[in-house]
Amino acid sequence: MQDVIAQVLSYIWGIWRFRWLALITAWVIAIGGWLFVYQMPEAYVATARVYVDSNSVLRPLLRGLAIQPNVSQRIAMMSRTLLSRPNLEKLMRMTDLDLQVQTDREKDDFLGQLRDSITLTGDRANTSLYSIAVQDADRDTAKRIVQALITVFIESSLSDKREDSSGAQDFLDEQIAEYEVRLIEAEDRLALFKQRYAGILPGDGSGYYGKMGETQAQLDAARLQLRELENRREALQSQVDGEEPVFLSSSSSLSSPLDARIQALQTQKDLLLSRYTERHPEVVQINRLISDLEREKQAEIDAAMSAGVGNAYSGLTSSPVYQGMRAMLAETDAQVAELNVRVAEYERRSEALKERVDNIPVIEAELKQLDRDYQVIAAQHQELLQRREAARLSQDVEQNANDVTFRVVDPPFVPFEPSEPNKLILNSLVLVAALGAGAALALLASLIKPVVADQRALTRLTGLPLLGSVTQVAAPEQRKRDAVGLAVFASLTLVLLVSFVGINIGRLGGLS
């Protein structure tokens, strides 16, 4: 630690040895620096602060009904584009600064200077607070520029809001018109496809494979029911064929046992004709059965007449048991005929579906694709309609209510003294730089021409032990010259400091 202190003291002694060099250097640098600061042009800085309040009461009320723009982002973008060329030209016209330019070159240069003189900053703690500063050589001009800049800032934000709403409305109208055309085209394609494959398309419920399974199940049930009725008819026929005539009628007229069956078929035919025409398959089938039974009846009557047993038939037909069995047999024949027609129809449907097994899936896939395209376009069209209504409501809100409020917190203010540059700080820096440069130059000179300042330095330099030292006793004339030199040095140093104070005394008074 003592070595460090000794080294520092040796540097101080070296600077003191060349103190006149240090003082002259400080004077030269200080005078030159102060002259440079003095000739620097002064300017006034006008300041103002604007608060942008975007917390509108309508915003929470209209959430979900109207489009809520990002007001903070819009204002931030507006603040970054505030110094664009159109806004600067508008600012020149508002403050009559355009009267100072004559040519386009002068206008471009003036716009560049105007842009450099304007500063717009936001508060980090409060993003809604903006500070505006304008630097100009004329105090009144700086104040006018700040006032005009506030007006441009507010008007540009409001006009951009109206332009955004109008542009959004136009864009949505164009998109809706385009989607309406696409929606009509999709509807036409779907209608033409359904017309082309009318009767072939599967039902809305189960599709092709479900319909095919349903038809097969109906066919199997009809076949089972047909077999049951056929077995019943065979049993009835065997009973009728084995019946003996018990009660004989005194009537001599001949009648056939097939009359009841023909009557039952005729009743069944009448019921079918009430719903269908003569060309219906079941009606045609019953007519064919009636014709066959009538021929069979005629053949039996002819055979009975030729054999002389007409009275037997007459007695047999008058038996109640026999008549009931013949009626049941006739009803069963009618049901069998009806089921034959139904089975044939189900077989036809099943065969038709089997023949389309290769085409139906393709048709179904194409139908689903057309329907999917239509649903997508319809959903997008509906979404655009909702967006347009929301945009229209938002535009009405913007026109009838202010969602953004601009408030001037600090009106434009310009100090009576020039604010830029701060010559007090600059002159202080010049003084510090001058003193530092003088001390550095003196230290450098002492290092170039070193001397032994004390006993420790001599011992370290020679490496020999020190036996003793002799103190120099200055003569009175030498002491007098040293005192005069010290007084002159102190006076010149004091004059340097006093000069600094005198140069900046006006500014020091302004600060106080």
pLDDT at 393: 63
Q: What pLDDT does residue 249 have?
A: 41
Q: Which of 293, 296, 291, 297 is nearest to 255 (CA)?
A: 297
Sign of the alpha-carbon torsion through 501, 503, 508, 511: negative
What percent of the chain shows pLDDT beyond 70? 72
Query: How confident is the model at residue 429, as a pLDDT?
Result: 92
**What does the pLDDT look like over 94-144, one tens digit per residue?**
888 878 788 888 888 888 888 888 887 776 666 677 788 888 888 888 888
Q: Cα separations (Å) of 274 from 264, 286, 295, 338?
A: 16, 14, 26, 15
Query: Using 50, 70 and 90 to split pLDDT, how confident is the model at 24?
Result: very high
How many Å is the maximal CA-CA distance in the chain?
Answer: 197
Mean pLDDT of the chain, nearest integer: 75
Is the distance from CB of 419 to CB of 44 less than 8 angstroms?
A: yes
Give ranges for CATH 3.30.1890.10 in the chain: 46-175+400-410
Which range, of 2-11, 161-170, 347-356, averages the lowest pLDDT? Answer: 161-170
Count CA atoms within 13 Å of residue 30 on its CB side. 23
Cα distances (angstroms) measured from residue 192 to each of 11, 16, 38, 199, 447: 105, 109, 91, 13, 105
pLDDT of residue 401: 43
pLDDT in tens, 434-465: 999 999 998 888 888 877 766 776 777 777 77
Per-residue pLDDT at 28: 94
Identify which of 86, 88, 74, 79 has the alpha carbon closest to the alpha carbon of residue 148: 88
- Predicted confidence (pLDDT) at residue 363 exceeds the cutoff of 70: yes
Residue 222 contacts by C-beta under 8 Å, 6 or more apart in sequence?
Answer: 339, 342, 343, 346
Which uninterrupted H or E stretch holds 130?
strand 129-136
Spatial neighbors of 227 by CB under 8 A, at least 6 apart, are none
Residue 433: what pLDDT? 93
Q: How far is CA 117 from CA 122, 411, 473, 494, in A?
A: 17, 18, 66, 39
Thinking of the domain 46-175+400-410, which architecture would CATH place it in?
2-Layer Sandwich (3.30)
Banded model confidence at residue 234, pLDDT cuts 50, 70, 90: confident
- Residue 475 φ then ψ, to 5°: -75, 160
Read off the pLDDT of residues 390-409 as tens digits, 9 standing for 90 and up.
Answer: 767 665 555 544 555 677 87
